[in-house]
Structure 1
Amino acid sequence: MLVTYLAHDLDDPSSWRRVEMLTRGGAQVRVAGFRRGDGPLPQPAMVLGRTANGRMVQRLAAVAAALPRIARLVPPPNGPEVVLARNLEMLMLGAALQRRRPLRLVYELLDIHAMVLGSGAKSRAIRKVEAALMRRASLVVVSSPAFLTRYLDDYGQPKIPSLLVENKPFAEAMPATLTPAPRPGGPLVIGWFGMLRCRFSLDALDRLTRAEPGRFKVILRGKPALDVLPGFHDVMAANPDLEFHGP
């Protein structure tokens, strides 16, 4: 089976974890999507353009410009094809592919833009577009049941079959038991890895370590979203119990 994975951000490591998961499951995976960063990608992918975090209007314009390019994806010579579209703008591209050939369209709903949650005309219009596209999909993939109950149900979006795939680490082989190394008298080490863009989490960890200096140490690795956390590096520099080790 060929899975065409449409990723809204090819520079997000979680997109490539999904590709790895699909590959381990036996699928042949090809990737297309937009970039927000620079540097080499882990695997070959069709780059459709560049987008910016949080800028929904710019992202929609980039999707419209990418429609001619997405049409160049050749259907498989035999066997089924599934298009897994990560987030709303990629669902638009997946639906465009579906109009050209038979395939199963899957909506991976992992981020909800604040603009979609409003009660104004613009928010209602975006949700109306999302609803129309969801009716073309066979499945919606979510990382938490709250996406179903607190968003899709609360806002009256179409009810289609859902699949819960929680954000958990996976590996080929794990030991039967994991025993933490003893740290007599040392700090409790907390790790925060990945896309670092939760203001609440950063504030909570900063307050926790300042409340009891030396009892906790927080190691951060990944890509801080400086548009959401503009003071990230200042917080790191001012708190000796917070350590940022880069991407």
Structure 2
Amino acid sequence: MTKLSVNVNKIATLRNSRGGNVPNLINVAKDIEEFGAEGITIHPRPDERHITYQDARDLKNIVTTEFNIEGNPIQKFMDLVLEVKPTQVTLVPDAEDAITSNAGWDTIKHRDFLKEVIATFKDNGIRTSIFVDADIKMVEGAALTGTDRIELYTESFALGYSKGDKNSVNPFIEAAKIGHSLGLGINAGHDLSLDNIKFFKQNIPHLLEVSIGHALICESLYLGLENVVNMYLNRLK
């Protein structure tokens, strides 16, 4: 089965909009796990505009499934990850002022940097993943960094699928096949939703994990969080 890791950034955004601690991020994360999700994902940014660094520390104490921390490996982020020691760290090349992640790594240009960062995390027992576009050269480059996994950046698939273009999944099929053949685990995320997740899952070989946040939380406003988590789990079977 493909594991569902729920990104709780949007819960933190809602909490921060009023100050205080409503909704309670820790309680929501516990509930999500009780509803059946196999992981919790966070993406703290340097300005801590949603997930704070203290949130990462607090979540470490309560997450009983897989804990995945995403982010650009600036020194502050690396220090946090080495302190918290999550199950997995996902390296994302987003600018400090990015609204959301919008590109994968150039794994050829940044190979030496990525090798050094990945070695540091792996030496500390943390599984590593690199956020990449569905580009064969970038997948091949990722395999040379020593990473355990790649996370396929799925925005282009989601956009194409929403317009009726089912062929938009084809580059992801090939990227997953190549990645697997090179010994990489395959994760995926960004703009996956209840509308497209079943089709994506049915077509992508060797898919270990999807990380879903924005769509899942938005869908939960109408359908309820427990119901939506279970709807994703059913589509991922």
TM-score, scaled to structure 1 = 0.35
Larger Rg: 1
Structure with the largest fraction of strand: 1
